[in-house]
Amino acid sequence: MASVPEYPTGTFGPHGIADLLRRWVGPKAREDARACPSVLINGKFLSAPSTGVHRVAAELIRHCSHLLRTDPAWQGKLHLDLVIPYDGEERARELGVPYRVVGPFRGIPWEQLTLPSVGGGNTILSLCNVGPVTSRDAVTMFHDAQVRLTPKSYSLPFRLWYRFHQFFTGRRHRRILTISRYSRQQLSRFGLANDSRVTVIPNGVDHFSAGRADNRIIAKLGLERGHYVAALANTQSHKNIPVLIDCFARPEMAGRQLVLFGAATVADFEAIGARPGPNVIFAGKVSDEELRALYENALCFACPSTTEGFGLPPLEAMGAGCPAVVAPCGALPEVCGEAALYAGAHAPEEWAHSICELARRPALRRKLVTKGAKQAARFTWDRAARSLLATMSEYAQ
């Protein structure tokens, strides 16, 4: 793990603003003599609760930093300068790469005002959908076009901000990155960025392969190995989890359980009109170790999304030896290929049929486990990081 410098932070106490202004850019890594281009990485995501998008950013930064330190092909070719607002330092330390705190402000004001002000002529790289609107020397990753595809999944302020931001940055920034060919097509479809200006960098999934399972969660939830189906507890409309709830209300599913992991509760689903039955279990938020145990012991993982920019959870499940049943929508066919079973996004009977087939036919399940492991192995963070470094080498000043 790289040593992490201790940089002053400052707060908004009686003298906090003045203190932050006085130390506006913190210790300047660019003062070191460097013959290589420097990339300023937008670290705003480190001050927010972790999401899947944030996981992607963290893994890319960590693996790029590792390659620049250890791979002779990349040493001295590029410098990454991770900058963060003062409230992102705790998670920055966990990331394990050098960083510096810059101020003032936090949140959107930090990203839109402070970040471009401290760029110092360096290209700004943003990996979580949003970058500084006023900057032109910038590269930003749009993970998807979901705000336009499924607006009901998001609040009105969120939709308005993303529509405004993507409209301008898709045209102003030097390069747009995304995570699948499907997402690139959707960005072009909505006029956010032409195909020729978009680089596809698929996610990795091997962050999950090194973890150990915490099997205590199986007993805690009263689960029987191989007799339950795992899925996300998410009420966003495009995640489409109510079709699984309807599936498990069917007579043929009476002896099986649906285990939903994540933040959403029974009350959250009832609020959108879904009625989880007694065989739907809510596991709540789980650790990576607990999630691995849920995958390893499940009959399968179910992903009925009507659209996905990539589809990381099915790949995580495949990498843990858990077959996936997915909807043939968004980037899921691109990512899962022939290693998954497919069921119609709005057909509970098809989900019931696929799940029952896996239970009745152990040979089919074993075949999918083998195919799934091979499919997941195609997506590594090392490969993604090398692609990102190659792109930034081309566009960094």
3-state secondary structure of 284: strand
Q: What is the pLDDT of residue 397?
A: 64
54 neighbors 48 (Cβ within 8 angstroms): yes
Answer with the residue of higher pLDDT: 167 or 211. 167
Q: What is the pLDDT of residue 303?
A: 98
Superfamily of domain 216-377: Glycogen Phosphorylase B; (3.40.50.2000)
Give 279's Cβ-side CA count (13 Å radius). Answer: 19
Do 16-204+380-395 and 216-377 show the same overall fold? Answer: yes
Q: What is the pLDDT of residue 50?
A: 85
Nearest to 44 by CA among 159, 137, 128, 142: 128
Q: Is the pLDDT of residue 393 over 80?
A: yes
293-315 pLDDT, tens digit per residue, is 999 999 999 999 999 999 999 99
Report the chain's terminal Cα–Cα distance, integer Å.
Answer: 27
Answer with the residue of higher pLDDT: 31 or 79. 79
What value does the mean pLDDT take over residues 231-255?
97
Say which residue the tokens 């997941």 belong to.
376
Q: What is the pLDDT of residue 6?
A: 36
Q: Over the chain, what is the mean pLDDT?
A: 90
Q: What is the pLDDT of residue 49?
A: 87
Least reliable range by pLDDT among 10-19, 209-218, 356-365: 10-19
Q: Percent of the chain scored above 90 by pLDDT?
A: 84
Q: What is the pLDDT of residue 35?
A: 66
Residue extents of the structural domains in the chain: 16-204+380-395, 216-377
Provide the CATH topology of domain 16-204+380-395: Rossmann fold (3.40.50)
What value does the mean pLDDT take over residues 140-151?
94
Give the DSSP per-residue string, 10-60.
--SSTTHHHHHHHTTT-S-GGGS---S-EEEEE-GGGGS---HHHHHHHHH
Q: Is the pLDDT of residue 42 over 70?
A: yes
Q: What is the pLDDT of residue 8?
A: 38
Q: Is the pLDDT of residue 18 over 50?
A: no
Q: What CA–CA distance (Å, rounded) separates 175 from 171?
A: 9
Q: How confident is the model at residue 19 (pLDDT cuts 50, 70, 90)?
A: very low
361-375 pLDDT, tens digit per residue, is 999 999 999 999 999
CA-to-CA dists, residue 283 to 190, 239, 272, 276, 290, angstroms: 37, 17, 19, 13, 10
231 neighbors 303 (Cβ within 8 angstroms): yes
Q: Percent of the chain scored above 70 by pLDDT?
A: 91
Nearest 5°: the CA angle 293, 296, 301 is 105
pTM: 0.87
154-209 pLDDT, tens digit per residue, is 999 999 999 999 999 999 999 999 999 999 999 999 999 999 999 999 999 998 77
What value does the mean pLDDT take over residues 76-97?
94
- For residue 108, the 8-state DSSP code is H
The total of other beta-carbon atoms located within 10 Å of residue 387's CB is 16
Q: What is the pLDDT of residue 127?
A: 98
Give all strands (DSSP E) within the chain, no chain letters: 38-42, 79-84, 99-101, 123-126, 138-141, 175-178, 198-200, 228-232, 257-261, 280-284, 300-303, 324-326, 341-342
User: The tokens of 243 are what?
Assistant: 């079709």
Q: Is the pLDDT of residue 16 over 60?
A: no
Q: Is the pLDDT of residue 1 over 50?
A: no
Q: What CA–CA distance (Å, rounded) separates 79 from 280?
A: 49
